[in-house]
Each structure stands twice: as structure tokens, then as C-alpha cells.
Structure 1
Amino acid sequence: MGTRDDAVILRAIAVLLCSAWILAAGPPTAAALWLSLPPSATKCVSEEIHAGVVALADYAVVHDDDPQSMPTISAKVTAPNGDTLHHKENVTMGEFAFTTNEPGTYLACFWLDGANKGIGASVSINWKIGIAAKDWESVAKKEKIEGLELELRKLEEAVEVIHENLLYLRSREAGMRDVSERTNGRVALFSVMSLALCIVASVLQLRHLKGYFHKKKLI
């Protein structure tokens, strides 16, 4: 029993050294949003997520004026490639869940249904991503962990998520650097070609003017 407790304490020391940085610089994994829907327009929220991440969300209409006549909305969630991941119409609440297949911006849009145009309403959205979307209760039951050990497990996964995000950002930065270098090379080549063209044009113009002046016996 003592060995297990010692292992937990050692894990605590190792993981908690990173916890302050995680809290300060870690990527957002959950977002509670409140959208005010205008009478005849669509409002969207977006999240940039990399591949292989679980996303869960639930939404509900909030209408304080008359709870008995709750307006209905439509909701649509699309992937970066344009595929529809969730689409509901004439609802007052709903939820969606998906695992990302590709990195990019995932878009969730909401609008009032036709029968409710001119009313206006608000939508409450609770969007969870990554470790925030994980069912930790099931994990605790399956692996028979609780208390400090469970919290350490969460922190360990948070560290892994931070590491994966840093690798993802580094790969994106490398890709952007390659694009920038190629663009700079093309701009430099275009500049040299433009300069050469100007020089050739100037030489031809000079020869033409020289021949013209000779014909006119001006020189």
C-alpha cells in the first residue's frame, strides 16, 4: 500500500510542476457561450480543432419574455471540408458529438425558424473539446481510481494535450514558413526578371533613339 502511495506522490510532484503552466497557457477545452439571435439572420461560433479530438456540445433556447411560447431554432454544424456533422430544425434544444477527422475550423450556426421571424431569442451553448469532453466518471470506475489519483490522471492527459497542440502548432508554423520562403523566392525572381526587362527595354530604346538621331543628322 505504501508503494502505491509513494508512486502517487511522485506522480503528483512531476505533474503539478506543469499544472501552473497548463492553467496559464493551456488551450481552451470547454466553452460556455450565449448567442443573441437576431430576427432574420444567422449567428455562428467556431472552434479550431486538430484531428482525432472528441467534441461534445449541447444547446438550448432561452426566452424569458413568454416561456409558454418558446421560439424554435435550426442548428447546423459543419466540418472544414464542408461536410454536415449535425443538422436540426424546429427545436428548442439539442446536442451534438463528433470526433474530428481533419484539422481545421469547425463551425456551428444557429438561426430562428421561419415561423419565429421577428421574435428574436437567445441560445445557450456549452461546447466541450478534448479532455473536457471525456467521461471521467466511467474512467474512474473502469480503472478503479479516485481522489488525488484521478485528478493526477486528468493533469497527465492535460499535459499530453498541451504537447500534441505544441507539435500541431509547430507543424503549422513550419508549413507557413515554407510557404513564406517559396513566396519570397518567387517575388525575388519576379523582381530580377522585371529589372532585366527594364534594362533590355532601356537599351533597345537607347539604340532606337540613337538611330533616329543619326537619320536626322542630329548627332
Structure 2
Amino acid sequence: MYRSINKTTIRFLILTLVIMPMVKGMRFDLKTGATKCITEDIKINAMTVGKYSIVNPAEGFPLSEEDRVTVRVTSPLGNNYHFADRKDAGNFAFTAGESGDYMACFWAAKQSHDKSLSIDFDWKSGLAAKDWSKVAKKGQVEMMELELKKLYDSVTMVHEEMFNLREREEMMQHLIKSTNAKMATFSFFSLVICLSVAALQLWHLKAFFQRKKLI
């Protein structure tokens, strides 16, 4: 399977991963007393970072104590990776312990009058979650070595994705074989039943004609 993938395809996949990192930057409105959840598909052992803040509608003035949100980030199995109660801003960072859809939920306490809070939320995972400028500064590596680190991570992601595709293909082949076997069994029993019914009808007609002395 891997031999059929040429170098051009691999380069295309690597460039796609580098140019289109997994980033979710957005601004959304949250009504007080309501909850809004955002999901992100993250692979196991992948790094992910998030940053959120409430947009101050009156610049130069501090936000009121009521303008706060409660934030919780959970894994596909329901494990808590981040929790902040009644904050106007915050951030989180962790390495995924399982693959699947991670969920970040925002909740604003109900106020005496209807109100909406605007929230800036930036969620990065995979290659986009790594601060390469800090890596270069801390390690004091040359630009070429830094590019090789990026390329290595890109190739690793492509390699993992190819394994995932191979596993899915094997599952589909197993499903197809299982379905074909069931269909063959069903067809065989259907044929046996049809032949049995036809034989029973012929026997019944023969017995009927013999009683009527027609044959």
C-alpha cells in the first residue's frame, strides 16, 4: 500500500499539513444563563493549547464582576483537562491522553436582565500548538535544524494518518467480507426454501390429480 504512494503525493500531504494547521480562532456571543460548547478532534499524544477572553465593550473600563464565564475542557471519555470558574480570561495547555473530540464548554451566570458576552477563543492543536520561536530561542539551533524539526513532525503526522487509513481500510474489507458471507448464506437458504416450496407444491398437485384420477 505504501509503495503506491509516490514522492509527489507525500510532499503534497506534508505541505498541506504545514500550510493548513489545526487552528480554531473565533469570536462568539454567549447569552447569560446559557452554555456553548466547541469541539476539536485531537489525536492521542498531540499537544493542544487554548486561550479565551471576554471582549470588553467599554475599553478603558474594567469588566464588572458579573461579566465572567465558567470554562471546562473535557476529553471524549469525560476526563477534565481544564476548569476555570467565573473568569474574564484564561488559557489551557495539555497533551491529549486519548484520541477523539475534545469539548470546551463556556457558561455564563444568569443575570437580572438578558445580556450577551462576546468571547474571543483561540484553540490550536498539533503543529500549530508548538511555539517554534521559543524552541529556536531555547535550543539556540540554526534555522535549518528548526525546519527539519518541523518537517519531522509533519512526516510523523502523515505516517500516523496513513496507519489510520490502513486500519480503516482493513475494517472496511473485513466488513465487506462478512457482509458477502452473510449474503451468500442468506441466498443459499433462500434457494433451499424456494426449491422446497416448489417441490411441496408439485407433490401437492400430483396428489390432488391422483385423487381426482386425472393422472
Normalised TM-score (structure 1): 0.69
* Cα distance in structure 2, aligned partners of 1:120 and 1:153: 43
Match of 2:15 among 23, 27, 36: 23
How many pairs align? 202
* Cα distance in structure 2, aligned partners of 1:68 and 1:126: 20
Judge which range, 108-117 or 118-127, deviates more: 108-117
Letter in 2 for 1:68: L
Gaps of 5+ in 2: 1-9
* Cα distance in structure 2, aligned partners of 1:201 and 1:37: 67
- Residue deviations 1:177-206 (CA, integer Å, cap 9, x gap): 323433443344344444544554565566
- Residue deviations 1:121-169 (CA, integer Å, cap 9, x gap): 2322211212222243443245321434423432332233223223233
* Cα distance in structure 2, aligned partners of 1:209 and 1:110: 76
* Cα distance in structure 1, aligned partners of 2:205 and 2:12: 75
Cα drift, residue 101 of structure 1:
2.3
More helix by share: 1
Aligned to 1:33: 26
Q: What is the root-mean-square deviation of aligned Cα atoms in Å?
A: 3.6
Distance 1:60 1:208, change over 3 A: farther
Distance 1:109 1:201, change over 3 A: farther
- Residue deviations 1:29-61 (CA, integer Å, cap 9, x gap): 332123333455433222222221111111122
* Cα distance in structure 2, aligned partners of 1:137 and 1:165: 26
- Residue deviations 1:55-84 (CA, integer Å, cap 9, x gap): 111112225278633622222222222323
Aligned to 2:171: 175
> Would you say 1:98 and 2:87 are equivalent positions?
no
Aligned to 1:48: 41
Letter in 2 for 1:60: S
Judge which range, 191-200 or 167-176, deviates more: 191-200
Aligned to 1:12: none
> Would you say 1:78 and 2:74 are equivalent positions?
yes
> Would you say 1:60 and 2:53 are equivalent positions?
yes
Distance 1:204 1:97, change over 3 A: farther
Distance 1:155 1:209, change over 3 A: same
Normalised TM-score (structure 2): 0.70
* Cα distance in structure 1, aligned partners of 2:15 and 2:45: 23
* Cα distance in structure 2, aligned partners of 1:85 and 1:216: 84
Identity %, equivalent residues: 37
> Would you say 1:165 and 2:161 are equivalent positions?
yes
8 Å contact 1:35–1:124 — kept in the other structure? yes
Aligned to 1:189: 185
Task: Give the 3-state SS of the residue equivalent to 1:114 in structure 2.
Answer: coil
Distance 1:214 1:175, change over 3 A: same
Cα drift, residue 21 of structure 1:
4.8
